[in-house]
Amino acid sequence: MKVGIYIDRMDLRGGAQRVVSNLCHGWVHRGWKVHLLVVSGDTAAFPVSAEVKQHVLAARHKRRGLLGLWDNWQHVRALGRVVRAEQLEAVLAVSAVANIHLAQADLPAHVVRVGSEHSYPAHFPLPFYKEWFRGRAYPQLDAIVTPTREAADYLAQSYPGARTQGIPNWLTWPLPKSDGSANASFSRPGRRTFLACGRFDKLKGFSRLIAMFDGLKERLPNWDLVIVGDGEDRELLEAQVAQAKLEDRVFFPGWVADMESAFRSADVFVFPSVSEGFALVLAEAMACGLPCVSYDCKVGPSEIIRDGVDGVLVPVGDETAFAATMQRLAGADAERSRLAAACPEILDRLSEDVIHPLWAQVLGRKR
């Protein structure tokens, strides 16, 4: 199959970019001819196979205001030109705006058009004019894919006539390495580690996680907290740690190239995010045998973690319960070992062999 993936940017360290990287790797491995159509941006933040043919559609990022409308139209036209020139059989768009572009593009009738959303739409409402376009675009696409059944059901109810399907993100195994810090091991002699990972923004809940750890520091004197990642809130989080005098207990190593080693060096993965599209990092941690504590947020964690079997789900926003779970697992070696033993079963549930046929079906079928 000759398939294109259309995304705004690949130079960001986001969940959608990570998923696109995995899809490129898997589809090339399956013998597909894969084209990556990027609107703009620099080198991809996650590895992309050299066998993927890459196209950059614009020399600059989209502008704001009326100039942005003009840019959008140019992107739609460029998308159509590449699809026709490369004779693609199917195109997967990534993000609501990219889905709208795909619906508007002038493509041959046989090309399968599949949109996708990688966040929970109810938590990220579009401006009214973009919502107007989305409401008209989605029923025109051959399918809309989300990583969870819950999000797919939401879109089906919100956009009558849209054909939606939940396809989980698969796990690329072994975990790929990317650009980042060379130091992937955080264990210190005689100490244990809570590990978290993600963009430093409000939705990921790292400020509240630091506050919870601050409340546990006296009861868990041999435990540290490591938060892998970066983002706009880094200075705020560092200031919070300094104010709490936790510099010798809470660490920010930045982005890490070898996350498998990072997961294996930790003892418990903590995930205080209040909104997700799938939470692939949870599955990656579990694949490395690392038990997880997560808020049961919309959407994703409840379709990854089997509560009490390979991790623990906590009601969203219940910081008391989250901290209590951290404390309980920290003091229960046997329970951590039991959860850890079941974690790698996620590799069977989210293997490429299980998930790929779902993509082959949806990308090979017109409405």
> For the residues of 58-83, what is the DSSP string, one character each?
-SSPPPSHHHHHHHHHHHHHHHHHHH
Q: What is the distance of C-alpha 233 from the center of its chain?
A: 19
Question: In this structure, are residues 264 and 290 in contact, taking their beta carbons and an 8 Å threshold?
Answer: yes
Six-digit token string for 182: 């060379």
Q: Give pTM, 2 decimals.
A: 0.92
CATH topology of domain 192-349: Rossmann fold (3.40.50)
Query: What is the pLDDT tens value at each position of the chain, 367 positions in all?
Result: 999 999 999 999 888 999 999 999 999 999 999 999 999 999 999 999 999 999 999 999 999 988 999 999 999 999 999 999 999 999 999 999 999 999 999 999 999 999 999 999 999 999 999 999 999 999 999 999 999 999 999 999 999 999 999 999 999 899 888 765 555 667 788 999 999 999 999 999 999 999 999 999 999 999 999 999 999 999 999 999 999 999 999 999 999 989 999 999 999 999 999 999 999 999 999 999 999 999 999 999 999 999 999 999 999 999 999 999 999 999 999 999 999 999 999 999 999 999 999 999 999 999 8
Helices in 87-204 by DSSP H: which ranges? 96-104, 128-137, 149-158
> Which CATH number is 2-170+351-363's, of 3.40.50.2000, 3.40.50.970, 3.40.1380.10, 3.40.50.11540?
3.40.50.2000
Task: Map out the domains of the chain as residue ranges.
Answer: 2-170+351-363, 192-349
Domain 192-349 in the same topology as domain 2-170+351-363:
yes
Q: How many residues does the chain have?
A: 367
